[in-house]
Amino acid sequence: MHRLLVLPFAAFLLAIASPLRAEEPVAVLAEMSDGSVVRGTLPEGTEFVLVAGDKETKIAARDVVRLAVSVFREAETRALEAEVYKWRPKLAADDVKERDAASEALAALPGTAAPFLTGLMSDADPEVVMRARAARKLVQARGGLFDSRDYVALDKQVLRGWLKLENVTLKTDFGPIEIARAELRTLRQPAAPEEVAAPKENEWMPPMARMLPPVTLVAFLKDGSRLVGQVPAAALALVDENGNAVPSDRLMSLVRDAEKAGFFRVKRQKVPSVRAALVAKELPVTGASRRWTVPVESIESIEIGPLRLHRAASGSMAELVQQWEKATAEGTAVPTQRFWVYIDGQPANPWNSTGKKGMTWSLIRVHNKVCLVGADALTDAYLGDTSNDEELPILAVHKQNLPAPEGVDPKNFYMGWIGGECRLTKPVAGSELTSLEIVNSIIKDEFGDDWEVGEHHSPSGGWHWWAYWEAPEEGK
């Protein structure tokens, strides 16, 4: 009888002494900034940490339906949040002029201010609520509303904050790979849809989390016109003669097929050319100064970038301004001169961009002796927008702490005052700009030790800033 009892007892001891069975790896699809999608598994027990305010939330990878890594820097977003809430007391001020000024300041903010404006709409003061709602409507009227924080979708809720994430390790059929945060766009369960459903109120997705980077191209039209600009990647969806989708990644060119109406000969890198048609009836081409809606039937051919961009005859900012003013007065197209600009904290410089590209700016506006330079429709502040093969001037700045001239708001978060003069160097190939130190040495050799490269995030939020386009008069 004792022997009969021993066996069950021994089995019980063995069970409690054995370690718990390890969790199975989590299968995911990782979508990267270059459009690649890789299937793999995360290591057992993988967790993500999301920081929102002072709170850290640990999230098991298997509970994540989809996460999206924002293309915005955390510091940028926190500064924007502070900018919104800075105006809250003014919205409730006794003086109507103060309230109106605060409303105007909030309405001028970018779409990424939307979640913080929404936060003001729950304020106890009805005046604040009314003005915050009106400001958000004006922001929305200029374009999409975006939440610039990271996004984690669980089964029944969406969380916002900043993922403590340096890289993601995946086990794939190609072997183990590491995807750096800067390369990662989204991570999703294989069963989750590739396209994110339209977000509900207060659930705006980061812009790059639901779309591939725009495609730079030249469209040659049947009437002899040539349009240079960018189109959303989704606008280049293709189908073959049987209606089957043709991959539109790695596109090189589309040339009108003379043998079959409505079709193009499509050439892609390292793939035989095929006959395919564009699904879209029109292409939205965004150039440096305007947006074109191009009927597909009017297109003779398309060449995909990198492009040989227009350069002015001289690297002088003063000459570029004069060309800009002349074109504006005559009602003709303004110069499309572009120039290299430095960006801190993001891989969009010629020396650290994954796509061997550098970020560029252009001249946006001229006001008397000052000019506004900054990002435009072609600027990609996250991956770079212009091939390193290009030869372009570098935007140089001499910061002198000068007061802002009349007509320039030095407190504007996204169009601030640099406090000095800007110039353009002689054109230089992006491939020669191998570090920030090299860039500044080129500038100092041309203009002197007080000069340095213009930075994308100066002087506060950045993206655009004002400067004198020629040396200001002494004492001014």
pLDDT tens digits in sequence order for the chain, 476 residues long = 444 444 444 444 444 444 444 567 889 988 876 566 788 999 888 999 998 877 899 999 999 998 888 766 677 777 888 888 999 999 999 999 999 999 988 888 877 787 888 888 888 998 999 999 888 888 776 655 677 788 888 888 888 888 998 888 998 877 888 888 877 888 888 887 655 444 454 555 444 344 456 788 888 888 878 888 888 877 888 888 887 778 777 788 899 998 999 999 998 877 788 999 998 888 888 765 567 888 999 999 998 865 443 333 334 888 899 888 888 888 777 788 999 999 988 899 999 988 889 999 999 888 889 999 998 878 888 888 999 888 899 999 999 999 988 888 888 878 889 999 999 998 999 999 999 999 999 998 888 889 999 999 888 778 899 999 987 766 55
Give this prediction's pTM: 0.43
Q: What's the rounded Cα separation, in Å, for the pair 46 and 322?
A: 58
If asked whether residues 425 and 321 sit together in one domain, one would say yes
Residue 299 tokens read as: 């297109």
Q: What is residue 144's predicted lDDT score, i.e. its pLDDT?
A: 58
If asked whether residues 123 and 235 sit together in one domain, one would say no
If asked whether residues 323 and 447 sit together in one domain, one would say yes
Residue 67 tokens read as: 């996460």
Q: How many domains does the chain have?
A: 4
* Under 8 Å between Cβ of 189 and 53: no
Q: What's the rounded Cα separation, in Å, for the pair 299 and 223?
A: 9
* Under 8 Å between Cβ of 386 and 358: yes
Q: How many CB atoms lie within 10 A of CB 247?
A: 14
Residue 267 tokens read as: 């050439």
With CA atoms as reference, report the closest residue to 334 among 322, 324, 343: 324
Where a domain ends, among 174, 192, 209? 209
Burial of 447 (0-12, 13-18, 19+ CB in 10 A): middle
If asked whether residues 247 and 370 sit together in one domain, one would say no
Q: What is residue 213's predicted lDDT score, i.e. its pLDDT?
A: 64
Three-state SS for 63?
helix
If asked whether residues 40 and 127 sit together in one domain, one would say no
Would residue 235 count as lying in a domain? yes
Q: What's the rounded Cα separation, in Å, for the pair 236 and 254?
A: 10
Dihedral of the alpha carbons of 338, 339, 342, 347, in degrees to the nearest 10 = 50
Categorise residue 345: left if φ over 0, alpha if ψ from -120 to 50, beta otherwise: left
Would residue 361 count as lying in a domain? yes
Q: Which domain holds residue 123?
A: 74-141
DSSP, res 296: G
